[in-house]
Amino acid sequence: MLDNLQIIYKSVKNISIKVKPTLEVVLTVPTNTTQEKIDQILKKRHDWILAQLNYFKKFQQPAKELVSGESFAYLGRNYRLKVSTATNESIKLIGGYLHVNLSDKSDHNKKLQLIETWYKQKAEDYFKKVIAKYTKIVKQEVAKISIRKMKTRWGSCNPKKSYINLNLDLIKKHVFAIEYVIFHELVHLIHYNHDQKFYHYLATHMPDWKIRKLKLETN
């Protein structure tokens, strides 16, 4: 039996299966469906369900305790957290350490706020530079850039409004992977769908995009 399996009996004609980013598997079936039929469906779709679960698990991260020694990624490198007591709050990279200074080292919420604010600022600065670099290629203006936590995507594009959405956690990835995601979304300003024209344009201007994509998935 799958963990987090939810079976919903409804007045529907067809059986449907949905795997959520929360790792919940929702099976919606007609009210008169037998357990035998449910077992058959789950067995038939077993490999697909596991593939979906494994995909979403890549985005699941254990909660940080925010204590000295923990590892934090930035631009493809890992840095050790070093929490120190100080009158003035600050956070910065020095050598191989991410130094967080605050008055109360035990204040988890304040540490979390400082680190998330730092990541957001770094992401805004770096992503804007990459976007400026690749908008020269696509020759399209970006009306709005939104950076936020995203459960299942590294980025998305609204070509009609010229909006680009980027996952905040992307700033933790290698620079090659960041450039791939941003350029991928910018290409959608020209080619809306993942069709042959889209991939031809992508390969023409970023011949190593497959290597970059692999780095995104494995780094």
Q: Which of 29, 27, 10, 31 lies closest to 18, judged by CA?
A: 27
Mean pLDDT of 73-94: 96
CA distance 56 to 183: 23
In this structure, the number of other CB atoms found within 10 A of the CB of residue 179 comes to 19
Enumerate residues 6+ apart whose C-beta is below 8 A from 88.
101
> Contact, 205 vs 137, CB < 8 A?
yes
Whether this prediction's pTM lies above 0.85 is answered by: no
> In this structure, what DSSP letter does residue 130 have?
H
In this structure, the number of other CB atoms found within 10 A of the CB of residue 52 comes to 18
- pLDDT (tens digit, 9 = 90+) per residue, 96-149? 999 999 999 999 999 999 999 999 999 999 999 999 999 999 999 999 999 999
Residue ranges of alpha helices (H) inside the chain are 35-44, 46-57, 108-138, 175-187, 196-205, 209-218
pLDDT band at 20 (very low <50, low <70, confident <90, very high): confident
Of 18-22, 72-76, 152-156, highest mean pLDDT: 72-76
Q: Is the pLDDT of residue 152 over 80?
A: no
pLDDT band at 1 (very low <50, low <70, confident <90, very high): low
> Contact, 10 vs 30, CB < 8 A?
yes
Domains in the chain, CATH or no CATH each: 5-57 (no CATH), 71-118 (no CATH), 120-218 (3.30.2010.10)
> In this structure, what DSSP letter does residue 172 have?
G
Lowest mean pLDDT among 44-58, 79-93, 204-218: 44-58
Q: What confidence score (pLDDT) does residue 64 get?
A: 86
Q: What confidence score (pLDDT) does residue 114 get?
A: 96
pLDDT band at 201 (very low <50, low <70, confident <90, very high): very high
Q: Which of 53, 57, 56, 31 lies closest to 42, judged by CA?
A: 53
CA distance 5 to 15: 15
**What's the token pair of residue 175?**
């620079």
CA distance 194 to 120: 29
